[in-house]
Amino acid sequence: MPLDTKTPIPTSFRVVGTRPLRPDGIDKVTGRARFGADMWAPGMLVGRILRSPHAHARIRKIDISKAQALEGVKAVVTRADFKAQDGDLADILDNVMAGKKALYDGHAVAAVAAVSAAVARKALSLIEVDYEILPHVTDVDEAMKPGAPLLHDGMITAGVEPAPTKPSNVTRRHEFGHGDVEKGFKKADIVVEREFKTEATHQGYIEPHACLATLSPDGVAELWVCTQGHFMVRAVCAGLLGIDISKLRVTASEIGGGFGGKTTVFIEPVALALSRKANRPVKIVMSRDEVFRATGPTSSASMRVKIGVTKDGRITAADGEFRYQGGAYAGSPVEFGAMSAFACYDLENVRAVGYDVVCNRPKQAAYRAPGAPISAFAVESVIDELAKKLGMDAIDFRIKNAAKPGTKSSYGPTYGEIGLITTLEEAKKHPHWKAPVKPGQARSMACGFWFNFGGQTCVSLNINVDGTCTLAVGTPDIGGSRASMSLMAAEELGIPYESVRAIVADTSSLGYNDVTDGSRTTFATGMATIFAARDAIKKLCGRAAQIWGIPEDAVVWEKGYARPSGANAGSFEPLSLADIAKSSGNTGGPIAGHTEYNAEGAGVSFATHIVDAEVDKETGRTTITRYTVLQDAGKAVHPSYVEGQFQGGAVQGIGWALNEEYIYGKDGRLQNAGFLDYRIPVASDLPMIDTKIIEIPNKGHPYGVRGVGETSIVPPLAAIANAVSAAAGVRLTQLPMSPPKVLKAIEEGARKGH
């Protein structure tokens, strides 16, 4: 790291931690902001994709001749129009456009570009696909059974020694942990072991995927797209189309939500292929039905968790098996699920085994803390049951076993400064935990963990002659990051927040940036912004030294001014950033600061959620009546948007716990591919979501920032399951806890005499 990272974390801030209006706000409240589907180009065609109606089918032949002959059709593409791939891009290509087999209902098999949507629709109906329908499997347990329909010939489970001799749908086995769990269970006085299942849920962003592509015969291409990572889009598309990376310029539009679901490509390579063939711009906008059937929901899962405790409430061993189905291709988030499963606890003996399983479903995509909410649901349910068996307060039991600074985590590393116990203590003190529980309701809680990430980041900060700054970042602004970047730049430079304009630069105007994901942007891009500002400050001090005719090291930067410093510096009036910028043309030209680096030092974060739930025992319907989030943000750069992340994560978790699920028919087709039947929480389903921001600074960031976006969705599934179980009088082990399931559990519980 060429820049100074050793500066201590400030204890007080001037603008960081305040709540200014976001710089892109007026565009968004006036309808002026341009999202994925809002762009238009001269001569633009409409692109549409034909999708498989079968869950599993061999594609014998595709006849596009009739579609091609239709008036107004300018291009038809199939798999043959893409460059053959191996390695990481092979599965991505196969998912973008099916090859020999369609692996799920909704798998793309061909696409057209036409002069209008009506002509494109007609053309799709004229494409003849000869399918040989194959047996399918959509459930993870069924897919793991011997004799299950195999999706990929010759898939041998990785991570098993010796390697299996027979192919299966299990792509990989993972194992994490330390100590000796068998020995640990022998020391336990009470052991609870349970099986759990969860259904796949969709990220449910309101903006369907959309892009506008232009690819000329000379290979020069432009792409406008709603994505969480336009550099990723560039790399993947250039590979799939066989064009030079430098010839493809990708501009990230405003993005209407992603939550991990826009960290991959679906339509972008297809639009480029159609544009190349038609030699005209092509826009593809997915319908909501396509979003559900052909983009990534998260995994469904089947799990077993076993935890043992002594009578005084100390955990002696924890063991879990996590089986995640991740759709038609390898890569479910089971590794993160298994790693994070027991991460909240200080454990001597722990083991987490994960199985990554393929099924005839759309390939899963990241969904906010990928994998972690699922395993936390199972683990925190067992923890809740143990606390009840011990007769201990749920929070006290967790505090007794909680991970703290110096704990060896269940997935390997030893924790530095972490805030789990603080979130638990704050929860215990919170008016919500102390308030009497209303009649007919039950209260419970759960904890959650997320790693947070750094990654490749590049930022440029240009000082303008009028004393303002333009900050170019390469991470799309998905929830207010322009505001937090502007705050950090302004803080470091000592200028007003309003004097910084943050823009999301296109792929040709800035160095490579990883995707906006893993709660990395405020941490990594924020750190890069601070370092870019420090780089600019160094240059500003140099210019002041030049103006004053003194050595550079005799100038310091304080609160937005260059000042002479030291015995021999002489006496000069301080120069403001604006003063120095104004004369920059005479002192060496424009001034800018840059950072290019691979960010490290992301601090893990923890949250504790408290929930009150009411279950109608006649209908099985659950109402959430009160909800509180307590989470460690490290440092909340813009507290309003941190609260918003907490609230949004909690509500997505409420949907996941109670209502949202992918429902498949016996034919392997998705039954509820629309917002009417896949119902995400609406305003009338919810109470206000109370929040408490806790700030335990992350020493890996100059301002102490941790990520905040993901951790907030980890505890809700378990917290709600614990509350619903308490209210229903029977332990719920399957998500979603939709009314029929809750009713069934209550009836079965009554039969067993609960």
Partner 1 sequence: MSQVHVTAKINGDTTEYLCEPDETLLDVLRNRLGLTGAKEGCGTGDCGACSVTLDGRLVCSCLVLGAEANGREVRTIEGMAHGETLHPLQRKFLEHAALQCGICTPGFLVAAKALLDKNPDPSETEIRYWLAGNLCRCTGYDKIVRAVQDAAAEMRKG
Residue 114-153 contact track with partner 1, rule CB under 8 A, x = bound: ----x-----------------------------------
Cβ closest to partner 1, residue 308 vs residue 644: 644
Out of 184, 333, 467, 479, point to the residue binding partner 1 (CB under 8 A): 479
The SS3 call for residue 486 is helix
**Bridge partner residues of 193 (DSSP):** 306
96 part of the interface to partner 1, by CB under 8 A: no
32 part of the interface to partner 1, by CB under 8 A: yes
Nearest-approach distance from CB 430 to partner 1, in angstroms: 17
CA atoms of 169 and 688, how far apart (whole Å): 43
* Contact between residue 445 and residue 718 where contact means Cβ atoms under 8 Å apart: no
DSSP annotation of 438: P
675 part of the interface to partner 1, by CB under 8 A: yes
30 part of the interface to partner 1, by CB under 8 A: yes
Residue with tokens 């801030």: 13
Out of 10, 13, 18, 34, point to the residue binding partner 1 (CB under 8 A): 34
Task: Calculate ∠ Cα 391-396-399, nearest 5°.
Answer: 140
User: How many amino acids of this chain bind partner 1 (CB under 8 A)?
Assistant: 60
The SS3 call for residue 569 is coil
Helices marked H in 87-138: 88-96, 117-126
At residue 170, φ and ψ (nearest 5 deg) are -90, 115
**Bridge partner residues of 57 (DSSP):** 102, 133
DSSP annotation of 59: E
**Bridge partner residues of 101 (DSSP):** 58
Out of 81, 139, 643, 660, point to the residue binding partner 1 (CB under 8 A): 643
At residue 587, φ and ψ (nearest 5 deg) are -115, 10
Q: DSSP strand E in 429-479: where?
A: 441-450, 455-463, 469-473
**Residue 547 C-alpha from the chain's centroid:** 48
Cβ closest to partner 1, residue 450 vs residue 641: 641
Kind of pairing between the strands at 248-252 and 221-225 = parallel
22 part of the interface to partner 1, by CB under 8 A: yes
DSSP annotation of 525: I
Nearest-approach distance from CB 249 to partner 1, in angstroms: 22
633 part of the interface to partner 1, by CB under 8 A: no
Nearest-approach distance from CB 450 to partner 1, in angstroms: 18
Out of 586, 674, 750, 754, point to the residue binding partner 1 (CB under 8 A): 674
480 part of the interface to partner 1, by CB under 8 A: yes
684 part of the interface to partner 1, by CB under 8 A: yes
Site for partner 1 in 598-627 (CB under 8 A): none
Contact region for partner 1 (CB under 8 A) — 231-239, 442-450, 509-517, 636-644? 636-644
Residue of 357, 349, 354 whose CA lies nearest to 339: 354
Out of 35, 512, 561, 572, point to the residue binding partner 1 (CB under 8 A): 35
Residue 149-188 contact track with partner 1, rule CB under 8 A, x = bound: ----------------------------------------
Residues 6+ apart with CB under 8 A from 653: 373, 609, 712, 713, 714, 715, 716, 717, 719, 720
Q: DSSP strand E in 64-189: where?
A: 73-77, 101-102, 108-114, 128-133, 170-178
Contact region for partner 1 (CB under 8 A) — 82-90, 188-196, 407-415, 477-485? 477-485
676 part of the interface to partner 1, by CB under 8 A: yes
Site for partner 1 in 236-275 (CB under 8 A): 254-259
Q: Which two tokens stand for residue 476?
A: 């799309």
Cβ closest to partner 1, residue 267 vs residue 541: 267
Kind of pairing between the strands at 605-615 and 622-632 = antiparallel
CA end-to-end span of the chain, whole Å?
Answer: 61
206 part of the interface to partner 1, by CB under 8 A: yes
693 part of the interface to partner 1, by CB under 8 A: no
Out of 28, 429, 559, 754, point to the residue binding partner 1 (CB under 8 A): 28
Binding site for partner 1 (CB under 8 A): 19, 21-22, 24-26, 28-35, 37-38, 40, 118, 203-208, 254-259, 285, 287-288, 478-480, 638, 640-641, 643-645, 647-652, 674-676, 680-686, 688-689
